[in-house]
Structure 1
Amino acid sequence: MKKKLILTLSFVLLLGSTPVAALAETIDEKIEAQNQKINEIISTQEEAQAYKSELEAEISELEEEYNTVLSEKQTVEQEINDLTTEIATLETKIEKRNEQLDAQARATQTGQDTSILSVMLNATSISDAISKILAVNTIVSANNEIIEAQQADKQELNTLKDSLIEQATVLEEKTAALAEQEEQLAQAKLDQDVKLNELAASLAEETAEKEQFEQQKAEAERKRQEELKAIEERKQKMAEAQALAEKEEKERLAQEAAAAAEAAKEEIAEAEVTPAETTDVEADTEDAVSVPESSIPTPETPADTSSGWGLPVSNVIVTSGYGYREDPTGISGNFHNGIDFGGSSSTVIMAVKSGTVVEASYDGMSGNYVIINHGDGYYSLYAHLSSATVSAGQTVGKGQQVGFMGTTGNSTGVHLHFGISTGLWSGFVNPAPLLGI
């Protein structure tokens, strides 16, 4: 019963889905999802590359500006060197002037009076006085000039020093700022390179996964085509088997009708020889013609095999053997646990051995089916019947009719699915050796 419920549920699922198409749709959805991922990565990659290009442009501008500032800095440093030389020269001049002033101060301190009155009193003549006065004025003027030059040089020296210090400070700060900004941009560029590498790796990974899905789709399509081809071949075999069975059935019925007619003629001839029996013979003849026995399909007793098993059909046409095959419907599985016999809907199905009918019912997979327990550890299964002619609990003999061939349940055409098992719905074995086919 559990097996029947599972098979029925599977058949219901089959009615609501097309496995091959659903699989193809699922793979297509995965491929489309991968395409979206790849497009997103490519878009992000393009944005990252654009940002990297912007960073490189900024770095290039900064490098150009840095080189300009560096050139200015070098120029200022050269000016500083030149000014340093000037400063050294001025300091030397100032030092010499200081020495001269110190010498004059010492002379004054040692009694050398250089005042105008002293010069005039000490002069020997007017011309000598004039000469000495001129000399004193020259000395005083020179000292004043020295002092003024000393003050001017010192002021220029201080101005130059302040200017150089200011320029050097500004350039140092600007150079440091540019160097820091360039370092930050260089780090951002490195980070962007890492991101681009990560995106490239992700793109390669997603592309590989897409190729895998495409391969799966191609493989699924290949299997679908093989299954469709196998189904078409099975349908063709079943159609040919059905046509052959119908032809043979018609020939058999025609032969039986001809034989019945011949028998009727013989009875009529005998009746003419024996007049007393004419009425009865004519009556019998009328019965034979109106209801010939050939109009009722009767099973033929199958030939015994070496194992004592008979055949389920009188005309053996195998359309699918036991074992592995491509699943024709998508839910039965690729392992075929029985043998399929072809024929027509009027083909009589017979018990292959005597036994007791344990199940005669219907489910979504097997359709109308009959299971017989033969009492020797074996069960026989007759599936996809158009109708069963026995019921559960009934005892049947070998060759007794159990139903008619059909295409009920999970079936792609008129045929009999015949199986032999060691348990009820379990332990299926290959029937061919037992049936001698």
Structure 2
Amino acid sequence: MKKYIALLSVISITAVAPLTVQADSIDSKINEVDTTINDLKQQKQSAENKLAALDGQIATLEVEVEKTLQEKVALEQEVTELLNDIDNLTKAIEMRTDKLSEQARVTQVNQASNSLLQVVLDSENISDAVTKSFAYGKIMKANDEIATSQKEDKEELSQKKAALEEKLVLVEEKTASLKVQQDDLNAKRYDQAILKKEVEANLTKETSKKDSLLKEKAEIEERQRKAEEAAKEKARIEAEYAKNIANEQEQLVAQAQTPISNGGSTVIDAGNTTPQATSGAFCSPLSSLQVTSPYGYRQDPTGFSGNRHDGIDFAGVTGQSVFASLEGTVVASGFDGSAGNYIIIQHGNGKYTYYLHLSRIGVSVGSGVSTGQVIGAVGNTGNSTGSHLHFGIATTPNWSGFMNPAPFLGIG
């Protein structure tokens, strides 16, 4: 029979430790994620600030572009007006030329020459010469005035054209400059917007990671809480169990020291008869055998013994005689928290028999016993759920090397 109480105590103490380590590891990861999230938030704020500044510059530039477009529209309007002026001036020149030609025809009718000398020579008299000379001078003066006016109009046209070309150059230069600035600002804004999107994506990823860690931490804390509660409950059960065992041991130690006579005056025995040897080398340890729990795997009835059963449980009543299954020497007896009062007997065939949960022990270590001799009484001591005898056969006295007793007793 194995001893489980010490093992359970160790499990109760150490069960929560791995969960605590896991929780500390999660906290460390959460701190790392928080640091990353704070950095990303700062990067996002910086990106937003830069975007706001770029938007302000772009808005200012757009105002400037609009102003330039208005200037261009005004300039185009001036161009239109200038073209109209040029057209009007051209028409005026043509009209002046036509008028001069008309005057010349009126003044110089039938005159072959328009020279002043010819006009004088062709005059009929002095008065006619004076009149014709005056008319000729007037025509020449008008001609000079028209020529001067045309020259001035042409200079005005040239000046307006030069001014127009200069304004066009300035507008084109300003338009090109604004376009460069627009392209530069738009490129910067695009890059900044991409950076912001990347930061936001990373921020979302890290926030999701933190949420997962927090969920994992909550699960670990819940498991830790349950483990602590389970550990406390185990400790309470163990303490209560140890207390009950201690009380029972105090009551049974004195009884176990009282010798039991084969006459059975202090031993209750159903039938009160010594069993006969069975077909095997071993005889029945009780006057009658009723198996309540066989050897091998079983469901642990108490939660402390384990599912591996190292012997056979036989039904019995407290005080019923327990017999040595085979002659031999008592090599161990006493009390164990799990086995209760027990006896171990060594036999000449290399086997050892175990008798557990006894209410009394009737032999001492080193004494020899014969087959069928009363060695104790059925009980309910140790880790037991009711009065019964746990009988085991092993190859060692060290609570190991157990084998199925049924074939040796001829019951299976």
- The TM-score with structure 2 as length reference comes to 0.59
**1:159–1:120 Cα change, 3 Å:** same
Residue aligning to 1:80: 79
**1:308–1:59 Cα change, 3 Å:** closer
Residue aligning to 1:238: 238
Within 5 Å, which residues of 2 pair with 1:237-386? 237-255=237-255, 305-309=291-295, 318-320=302-304, 352=311
**1:383–1:114 Cα change, 3 Å:** farther
Q: What is the CA–CA distance in structure 2 between the aligned matches of 1:90 and 1:141, rounded to whole Å?
A: 21
2:68 maps to 1:69: yes
Q: Matched residue of 1:206: which SS? A: helix
**1:19–1:195 Cα change, 3 Å:** same
Q: Is the 8 A contact 2:345 2:354 kept in 1?
A: no
Q: Matched residue of 1:218: which SS? A: helix
Q: Which amino acid aligns with 1:206?
A: E
Within 5 Å, which residues of 2 pair with 1:414-425? none
Residue aligning to 1:398: 354
- The TM-score with structure 1 as length reference comes to 0.56
Q: Is the 8 A contact 2:30 2:213 kept in 1?
A: yes
How many angstroms does 1:187 deviate by? Answer: 4.3
Q: Is the 8 A contact 1:237 1:319 kept in 2?
A: no
Q: Is the 8 A contact 1:238 1:319 kept in 2?
A: no
Q: Which runs of 5+ in 1 are unaligned?
A: 1-10, 261-300, 311-315, 323-336, 340-350, 355-381, 402-413, 417-437
Q: Is the 8 A contact 2:54 2:185 kept in 1?
A: yes
Q: Which runs of 5+ in 2 are unaligned?
A: 1-9, 260-284, 314-335, 358-381, 385-412
Deviations 1:321-380 (A, max 9, x none): 75xxxxxxxxxxxxxx669xxxxxxxxxxx6369xxxxxxxxxxxxxxxxxxxxxxxxxx
Q: Is the 8 A contact 1:41 1:203 kept in 2?
A: yes
Q: Which amino acid aligns with 1:352?
A: G
Q: What is the CA–CA distance in structure 2 between the aligned matches of 1:29 and 1:93, rounded to whole Å?
A: 94
Q: What is the CA–CA distance in structure 2 between the aligned matches of 1:109 and 1:176, rounded to whole Å?
A: 63
Higher helix share: 1
Q: What is the CA–CA distance in structure 2 between the aligned matches of 1:43 and 1:384, rounded to whole Å?
A: 65
Q: What is the CA–CA distance in structure 1 between the aligned matches of 2:180 and 2:224, rounded to whole Å?
A: 65
Deviations 1:258-285 (A, max 9, x none): x68xxxxxxxxxxxxxxxxxxxxxxxxx
Q: Is the 8 A contact 2:245 2:337 kept in 1?
A: no
Q: Is the 8 A contact 1:73 1:171 kept in 2?
A: yes
Q: What is the CA–CA distance in structure 2 between the aligned matches of 1:338 and 1:34, rounded to whole Å?
A: 48
How many angstroms does 1:50 deviate by? Answer: 1.0
How many angstroms does 1:162 deviate by? Answer: 1.9
Percent identity over the alignment?
29
Q: What is the CA–CA distance in structure 2 between the aligned matches of 1:162 and 1:179, rounded to whole Å?
A: 26
CA RMSD of superposed structures (Å): 4.1
How many angstroms does 1:308 deviate by? Answer: 4.9
Q: What is the CA–CA distance in structure 2 between the aligned matches of 1:242 and 1:119, rounded to whole Å?
A: 161
Residue aligning to 2:55: 56
Residue aligning to 1:168: 168
Q: Is the 8 A contact 2:100 2:142 kept in 1?
A: no
**1:128–1:186 Cα change, 3 Å:** same
Q: What is the CA–CA distance in structure 1 between the aligned matches of 2:222 and 2:29, rounded to whole Å?
A: 18
Q: What is the CA–CA distance in structure 2 between the aligned matches of 1:120 and 1:102, rounded to whole Å?
A: 21
Q: Which amino acid aligns with 1:175?
A: T
Residue aligning to 1:24: 23
Residue aligning to 1:128: 128
Q: Matched residue of 2:291: which SS? A: coil
Deviations 1:286-325 (A, max 9, x none): xxxxxxxxxxxxxxx8997345549xxxxx9935475xxx
Q: Matched residue of 2:355: which SS? A: coil
Q: What is the CA–CA distance in structure 2 between the aligned matches of 1:109 and 1:395, rounded to whole Å?
A: 171
Q: What is the CA–CA distance in structure 2 between the aligned matches of 1:102 and 1:183, rounded to whole Å?
A: 61
How many angstroms does 1:65 deviate by? Answer: 0.3
Residue aligning to 1:40: 39
How many angstroms does 1:185 deviate by? Answer: 2.5
Q: What is the CA–CA distance in structure 2 between the aligned matches of 1:383 and 1:147, rounded to whole Å?
A: 142
**1:150–1:236 Cα change, 3 Å:** same
How many angstroms does 1:228 deviate by? Answer: 1.2
Q: Matched residue of 1:397: which SS? A: strand
How many angstroms does 1:156 deviate by? Answer: 1.5
Residue aligning to 1:149: 149
Q: What is the CA–CA distance in structure 2 between the aligned matches of 1:415 and 1:160, rounded to whole Å?
A: 122
Residue aligning to 2:223: 223
**1:47–1:122 Cα change, 3 Å:** same
2:110 maps to 1:117: no
Q: Matched residue of 1:318: which SS? A: coil
**1:338–1:212 Cα change, 3 Å:** farther
Within 5 Å, which residues of 2 pair with 1:182-201? 182-201=182-201
How many angstroms does 1:124 deviate by? Answer: 3.5
Q: Which amino acid aligns with 2:37?
A: I
Q: Which amino acid aligns with 2:354?
A: K
Q: Which amino acid aligns with 1:129?
A: A
Q: Is the 8 A contact 2:305 2:383 kept in 1?
A: no
How many angstroms does 1:212 deviate by? Answer: 0.6
2:94 maps to 1:95: yes
Q: What is the CA–CA distance in structure 2 between the aligned matches of 1:241 and 1:52, rounded to whole Å?
A: 73
How many angstroms does 1:180 deviate by? Answer: 4.2
Q: Is the 8 A contact 1:353 1:398 kept in 2?
A: no
